Structure formats: structure tokens, C-alpha cells
Amino acid sequence: MPEAAAIRKVIETLRRHFPGKGAVELDRPEDVLLATVLSARTRDEQVLKVYPKLRKRFPTLASLKKASVSEIADAIKEIGLYRAKAKSVKGIAEALLDAHGGNVPDTMEALVALPGVGRKTANCVLCYAFKKPAIAVDTHVHRIANRLGWVRTPDPQKTEFALMRLIPKGLWLHVNRVFVQFGRAVCVPGRPRCWKCPVARLCRYPRKTITPS
């Protein structure tokens, strides 16, 4: 099990190398929530192209609630699973207006009760919208945590709970933000680019690729 000092070193090093904002780190809680729902099994770049079109067509929660699922689906049809996501978006708008006074809730329990919202989405909202300590585990965070040797977990939810036990709470907000950027640029699926990794000496991955060739 890695020591807290080693974990802190990895996260702080990655923060220096990858200082950018999270892809769904948008201005309003409802935007963080809805954009994250759209991002499931879809590249963030594509979501960020589609999401402004959705909000231009349906600028308020009330307009989303009033719209039909097919109308919302038409606005987001460039992304995967758009019909199911359209149903979730409409359901979220209804729930926020009917049960939460038009506000996005700031607790895990209330967030996962919304249509189409799981723990990963809820944690993104807690982190990016409310700055509450949470670890949003997507495929990048799951892969990297296992490669580093911090955890040996079979799925993202088990990874989340394992990381919550390992990582000092003051660092939780940074995990998703830096690991996603790191996972796209360096610690990619398949053959990671270990030759350019700023934390390679702190990583226990046994099949490091030392050179580009």
C-alpha cells in the first residue's frame, strides 16, 4: 500500500504538469450536471461541441422540462446514446424544478436519485460545481490508479472507495481533473507513454515503455 507522502507527491507533480480545468468544469451547477450526463461513453470534446447547442435551444430548465424527449434528442443526436441521454436530461429538469426548487442538490444521496445520475456524475458535480471533496472515477482514474499500484480493483466504484481510503481528503478535488488529462496525454490505454511520464519513478506498473519505439 503506498504511503500518503508518495500519493501526495504524485498528485502534486501531476498538478504542475496538467494545470488545466476539467472538461466539464463549467460555470453553473446545472451545466456541470447536464454536461456530465451527456459525457457518458462519449468524448468530452464532442460533448462540449453539442452542449452549447442544446442550451441555446433550451436555455432554461423550464424549457427542457417542456420539451419532448425527441426534441432534446434531436439537439444532441451527434453524441452516443443520445436518446437515452435525452430522456435523462428531461427527467433531471423535471426533478430539479419539481423537487429542488430549480437548484442542483449538493449531496450524493440527492444527486444519485436524479434520472441518469450515477456516482461518477454525482462526484463530478460535487467537485466541480460545489468544490466538495469527492473522487470522480472514470476510466482514466480507474486505469491509472491500478497502474500506479495504488489499488487492485476490478471496477470504477470499487476504485472510488479504495481511493477514498488511501488519498488524503484535501487532495480529492484534484484527482479527476489531473488524472483525466494525464490519462489522455501520457498514461493512455494500451501502451502508455512511460518515457514522458513525470511520475514514472513512483509508479509500480510492471510493463513500462521506456522508449517511444
- Total number of domains in the chain: 2
Instruction: Give the whole-angstrom CA distance, residue 75 versus residue 82.
Output: 9
Q: What crossing angle do the helices spanning 29-38 and 82-99 adopt, rounded to 10°?
A: 150
pLDDT (average), residues 74-101: 97
| The pLDDT value given to residue 2 | 78
Cβ(122)–Cβ(108) below 8 Å: yes
Which position among 44, 131, 138, 196 bears the catalytic label? 138
Question: Does 25 have pLDDT greater than 80?
Answer: yes
Residues 111 and 157 sit within 8 Å (Cβ to Cβ)? no
* 213/203: higher pLDDT: 203
Q: Tell me the residue range of the domain where 95 lies.
A: 29-129
Q: What is the pLDDT of residues 169-205, one digit of tens each?
A: 999 999 999 999 999 999 999 999 999 999 999 999 9
Q: Which residue among 97, 129, 161 closes a domain?
A: 129
Instruction: Give residue-wise pLDDT tens across range 116-147.
Output: 999 999 999 999 999 999 999 999 999 999 99
For 2, other C-beta atoms within 10 Å of its C-beta total: 17
Separation between Cα atoms, residue 124 and residue 121, nearest integer Å: 5
Q: What integer best gives the mean pLDDT of the chain?
A: 95
124 lies in the same domain as 164: no
pLDDT(99) > 80: yes
Provide, rounded to the nearest whole percent, the portion of the chain with pLDDT above 90: 91
CATH of the domain at 15: 1.10.1670.10
**Residue at 213 is within a domain:** no
Check whether residue 85 and residue 169 sit in a common domain: no
Q: Which of 85, 87, 120, 208 is catalytic?
A: 120
pLDDT at 100: 98
Same domain, 93 and 153: no
Res. 155 pLDDT band, cuts 50 70 90: very high
Is residue 79 predicted with pLDDT exceeding 80? Answer: yes
Pair 65, 113 in one domain: yes
Checking if the pLDDT of 213 tops 90, the result is no
Entry pTM: 0.93
Which one of 129, 156, 187 terminates a domain?
129
Same domain, yes or no: 34 and 8: no
Q: Which amino acid is at 1?
A: M
Mean pLDDT along residues 99-106: 98
DSSP state of 38: H
| Confidence at residue 22, expressed as pLDDT on a 0 to 100 scale | 85
Ramachandran category for residue 131: left, alpha or beta (phi over 0 → left; psi -120 to 50 → alpha): left
Give the per-residue pLDDT at 4: 85
Whether 9 is catalytic: no
Statement: residue 86 has pLDDT above 90: yes
Q: Is 138 part of the annotated catalytic residue set?
A: yes
| Mean pLDDT computed over 5-33 | 94
Asked, for residue 100, whether it belongs to a domain, the answer is yes
Tell me the CA distances in angstroms from 143 to 13, 46, 48, 179, one per residue in order.
18, 22, 24, 9
Last residue in a domain, options 113, 129, 145: 129
- Cα–Cα distances (Å) from 191 to 46, 167, 195, 213, in that order, read 24, 26, 11, 11
